[in-house]
Chains A and B, each alone.
Chain A
Amino acid sequence: NAGVTQTPEFQVLKTGQSMTLQCAQDMNHEYMSWYRQDPGMGLRLIHYSVGAGITDQGEVPNGYNVSRSTTEDFPLRLLSAAPSQTSVYFCASSPDRDRGLRGYTFGSGTRLTVV
């Protein structure tokens, strides 16, 4: 049982390049979400999904796209990378049946640098 797996762990992009950050979970969780964390800051929600085929915007969605074709996978696409997108990206999943917010499992993060 691997939990939430994020790839790659590290990535350097040039301004204007596009890429996809991968996130997969093997816990059959309905809810999945993406966050970015800048140095010294809390996590900010980018996009989230409450099930396959359903996605919605979070606090900072601009410059990012998501899709959810399967329960297991929730990739995050950077359309045209900018230095302001340099950050650590975390993916999380949660069962939909939990009361409260206790059920979130986070991946180990992708450290992205845009030069």
Chain B
Amino acid sequence: LAKTTQPISMDSYEGQEVNITCSHNNIATNDYITWYQQFPSQGPRFIIQGYKTKVTNEVASLFIPADRKSSTLSLPRVSLSDTAVYYCLVGPNTGKLIFGQGTTLQVKP
């Protein structure tokens, strides 16, 4: 599984757009880029996945440049309830997930 690097923490205010960038220089051809969200005292949950270009769902957008060596998770107009840890994972599905430390997003009123 490709190693990922993302900021340890970020602060934002309600109503702002938040962009979290993940670096994955050693991404392989068959790897997907997947983001999970974890609230305190809960297990992680899937929020978005992409392979190339841009993906958007009801929760977030994921921007992937042509070289796929990085990706950016975009959360539009965050609220206090978006305070969580966000994990970037890269790879095919081989039965296991290897998590980094993730990005702790703190949304302030």
- Report which A residues bind B (CB closer than 8 A): 4, 30-31, 33, 35, 41-45, 48-50, 56, 58-59, 88, 90, 92, 94, 96, 98-104, 106-109
- Shortest beta-carbon distance from A40 to chain B in Å: 8
Tell me the minimal C-beta distance from B104 to chain A in angstroms: 9
Chain A residues within an 8 Å CB radius of B31: 100
Cα distance A88–B46 in the bound complex, in angstroms: 19
Instruction: Give a binary string over B5-48; 1 marks a CB under 8 Å from any A CB, 0 the rest.
Output: 00000000000000000000000000111101000011111100
Query: For A59, what are the chain B residues with a Cβ–Cβ distance below 8 Å?
Result: 98
A4 CB contacts on chain B under 8 angstroms: 43
Evaluate contact between B93 and A103: CB separation under 8 angstroms.
Answer: yes
When the two chains form their complex, are residues A107 and B43 in contact, meaning their CB atoms are under 8 A apart?
yes
**Interface size, chain B (Cβ < 8 Å):** 28
Chain B residues with CB under 8 Å of chain A are 31-34, 36, 41-46, 49, 51, 85, 87, 89, 91-102
Measured between alpha carbons, how far is A106 from B37 in the docked complex, in Å?
A: 11
**Contacts A101-B49, A101-B91 hold; do A45 and B98 have CB atoms under 8 A apart?**
yes
